[in-house]
Amino acid sequence: MSAVCEPDIHRLPNLQAVVKETLRLRMAIPLLVPHMNLHDAKLGGYDIPAESKILVNAWWLANNPAHWKNPEDFRPERFLEEDAKVEASGNDFRYIPFGVGRRSCPDIILASPKGSNAFSISMSTR
């Protein structure tokens, strides 16, 4: 059996699902970098004055039972079935383990399932 290389990653959807589910369930930084709104805003019925510091609880977004089926369970298959289109790039705000936008973590390229093969290499046998 040959070692898994980076070009092989796209052909390993189960591996990608395991990495996504691991990042969803146990993200490294549960609160994203603080933001500040420039203008008065209203969010969820709350008034937010201009220049307020806002922290996004990414852990809650990724573990909210209103948005995920059995969020406390380790179910990589969710990223192969009902949530197959969810990516860490910010296309779905339920799953933002690296943040989103200008302040997102630059390591997304290294840590994302498509950009990193460290896990697959550690699991492969020679």
pLDDT tens digits for 95-109? 878 777 777 777 666
Q: Using pLDDT thresholds of 50, 70 and 90, give the confidence band for residue 48.
A: very high
d(CA 17, CA 92): 16
Average pLDDT of the segment spanning 37-44: 90
**What is the phi/psi pair of residue 20, to 5°?**
-60, -45
pLDDT of 115: 47
CA-CA-CA-CA dihedral for 81, 85, 87, 92, to nearest 10: -110
Of 56, 57, 39, 58, nearest to 47 by C-alpha is: 39
Which of 13-22, 81-90, 100-109 is predicted most confidently? 13-22
Instruction: Choose between 18 and 114: higher pLDDT.
Output: 18
The answer, yes or no, to whether residue 52 has pLDDT greater than 90, is yes
pLDDT of 104: 74
Dihedral sign computed on CA atoms, order 65, 63, 57, 107: negative
